[in-house]
Structure 1
Amino acid sequence: MPNQHGDFIWYELLTTDADAASRFYGAVIGWRVRPAEGSDRDYRILGTGDADVAGVMTILADTDCVGMRPGWLGYVGVTDVDATAAEVVRAGGTQYVAPTDIPGVGRFAMVSDPQGVAFYVMRGAMEGTSTSFAQAKPGHCHWNELATNDQGAALAFYTGLLGWEKGDAMPMGDMGDYQFITHHGGMIGAMMTRSVGGPPPAWTFYFGVEDIDVAARAVSGNGGTIHHGPAEVPGGVYIIVAADPQGAQFGLVGPRKR
């Protein structure tokens, strides 16, 4: 089934050291790395044995990347990039990179929601379905989690723009609800209120691993920092929230086998 408007179709790491980051995620998640063919930048493709999952790009001192810190961004598929980017601005968001064609790949724009959280919208040019987000496959993204300053405003923005729907919610005490997000009948992630004094508003993407404890040791053993976990979550799996050696935050999710 082809990807639909509102599907997460790709993930991209912006980093200060693409070589080191590629080695780190290879050790932690098991991704292989290869150069992107035809790219005018040093763009790397990360993936499993059967599919490409994400890209890695060095932050350059040009107009596209000024002020950016290492971090993960998600690409959301849309039917019309130009119309969606214009709607982002009308809804109070920002357009950082105007709609642009990548020959043979597709058309994209970099935008942010009204709380300043950056993401991409894209219409792919290639046939086939992206499996970057595939909750049953290790090495693919399993969960998309937004920490925001205004959960209600963020929910209204994304549901209106991308067709996502409000799902159930899990109370989190003083932090409010952990609000699940559904899309075409499936749960794709959640929104939560950012902790006071914590990291800025951002998306955190959780990638699947086969053994959470093995992955945790790989994070620490390869220069990363674990901020939370391993912690059990509903479904009998465990999560880690961590930062890679360049400071980009990411999540891992998987079973505990010991």
Structure 2
Amino acid sequence: MVDYPGPFVWYELITTDMAAAKAFYSEVVGWGVQDASTPGLSYALFTAGTAPVIGLMELPEEARNRGATPRWAGYVGVADIDATAERIKRLGGAVYVPPTDTNIGRISIVADPQTAAFALVEGLKPALRQTVAMGEPGHVGWHELLAANWETAFEFYGELFGWQKAAAETGSAGTYQSFSAGEQTIGAMVTKRPMQPVPAWLYYINVGDIDAAAERVKAAGGHIFEGPLELSEGGSILRCADPQGATFALQGKRSQDGVGWSAEWGGFSSRGKLVNRSRGTA
């Protein structure tokens, strides 16, 4: 029995340098910053306009000692977090942090059977609830699972959350399978390339001009792994890491004509169909 078709409802950046992260993402994405600390917890909110969109906190010392590194966390909203955490364990996943009351709601940090980590939240604070469409600037607009095996990963998430298959695209390296929560397509799953060390979720943040954003990433000390890569529906993407090493992605429109990359990204067309437009005239 599934909880309900749960969407992602909140996101956090867990980092080793909050001040540096505030400066980097404010420059790259244009977010504002609000302090939301509580006694014993340093916490901040990235905002798009006046709306909070991302939480920011320090990576706990205990986690650092265990080898944890800066990362993004996406929270799936559930109605009964204790039952969902138990179901994750029965389905072969892991519960790293058991259901716990926090400043944002009752949360749990978990992983699927292929070790891709994500989070659960029950009773997300009303002030943090996302009230705009996924395509709005400054918001997370796509959720991509780089799995050890996308088919078995989908079985897990489908059983857990009731997610459904949407459109699929097949390339030389396999299938890029979109999925929906309720009636909205919110992301995709794909079998990761060998160069990617571990299964992980990747979150795409909406920006306006992807070329300008790429320049801001580099100028602010971040690293671009791949892109800009153009999609057939007109958008483009970047895969990046911030100066502390947390991996994220950006999606937006191109200001420059042409891509200069192959039509497939590592054998599959991540984040939709890629096109390869030549520069100048044909």
TM-score if structure 1 supplies the norm length? 0.92
Matching of residue 88 in structure 1 with residue 97 in structure 2? no
In the other structure, the counterpart of 1:139 is: 138
Contact 1:239 1:251 in 2 (8 A): yes
- In 1, the alpha carbon distance for the partners of 2:232 and 2:178 equals 13
- In 2, the alpha carbon distance for the partners of 1:5 and 1:18 equals 33
In the other structure, the counterpart of 2:58 is: 58
Matches within 5 A, 1:24-43: 24-38=24-38, 40-43=40-43
1:232 aligned partner, one-letter code: E
- In 2, the alpha carbon distance for the partners of 1:39 and 1:119 equals 26
Alpha-carbon RMSD: 1.8
Other structure's SS at 1:146 match: strand
In the other structure, the counterpart of 1:111 is: 110
Contact 1:93 1:112 in 2 (8 A): yes
- In 1, the alpha carbon distance for the partners of 2:33 and 2:111 equals 28
In the other structure, the counterpart of 1:44 is: 44
Contact 2:5 2:163 in 1 (8 A): no
- In 2, the alpha carbon distance for the partners of 1:254 and 1:207 equals 9
C-alpha displacement at 1:42, in angstroms? 1.3
- In 1, the alpha carbon distance for the partners of 2:185 and 2:140 equals 13
C-alpha displacement at 1:126, in angstroms? 3.1
| Structure-2 change in CA distance of 1:69 and 1:129 (3 Å) | closer
- In 1, the alpha carbon distance for the partners of 2:169 and 2:65 equals 36
- In 2, the alpha carbon distance for the partners of 1:59 and 1:162 equals 28
Contact 2:81 2:121 in 1 (8 A): yes
In the other structure, the counterpart of 1:182 is: 180
Q: Paired residue for 2:220, among 222, 238, 251?
A: 222
- In 1, the alpha carbon distance for the partners of 2:229 and 2:174 equals 19
TM-score if structure 2 supplies the norm length? 0.85
C-alpha displacement at 1:68, in angstroms? 1.2
In the other structure, the counterpart of 1:159 is: 158
- In 2, the alpha carbon distance for the partners of 1:63 and 1:238 equals 35
C-alpha displacement at 1:63, in angstroms? 5.8
- In 2, the alpha carbon distance for the partners of 1:29 and 1:169 equals 29
In the other structure, the counterpart of 2:149 is: 150
* Identical pairs, percent: 42
Q: Which moved more, 1:193-202 or 1:210-219?
A: 193-202
Contact 2:10 2:128 in 1 (8 A): no
C-alpha displacement at 1:152, in angstroms? 1.2
C-alpha displacement at 1:215, in angstroms? 0.5
Q: Which moved more, 1:133-142 or 1:160-169?
A: 133-142
Cα displacement string for residues 169-203 of structure 1 (whole angstroms, at most 9, x for unaligned residues): 11121x20001011212110000111012232100
Other structure's SS at 1:196 match: coil
Other structure's SS at 1:62 match: helix
| Structure-2 change in CA distance of 1:163 and 1:73 (3 Å) | same
Contact 2:37 2:44 in 1 (8 A): no
Matching of residue 98 in structure 1 with residue 98 in structure 2? yes
Q: Which moved more, 1:13-22 or 1:62-71?
A: 62-71
- In 2, the alpha carbon distance for the partners of 1:15 and 1:127 equals 25
Count of aligned residue pairs for this structure pair? 253
In the other structure, the counterpart of 2:276 is: none
Contact 1:139 1:208 in 2 (8 A): yes
- In 2, the alpha carbon distance for the partners of 1:50 and 1:186 equals 25
C-alpha displacement at 1:235, in angstroms? 1.6
Cα displacement string for residues 41-82 of structure 1 (whole angstroms, at most 9, x for unaligned residues): 211111111311111111122269732111111000001000
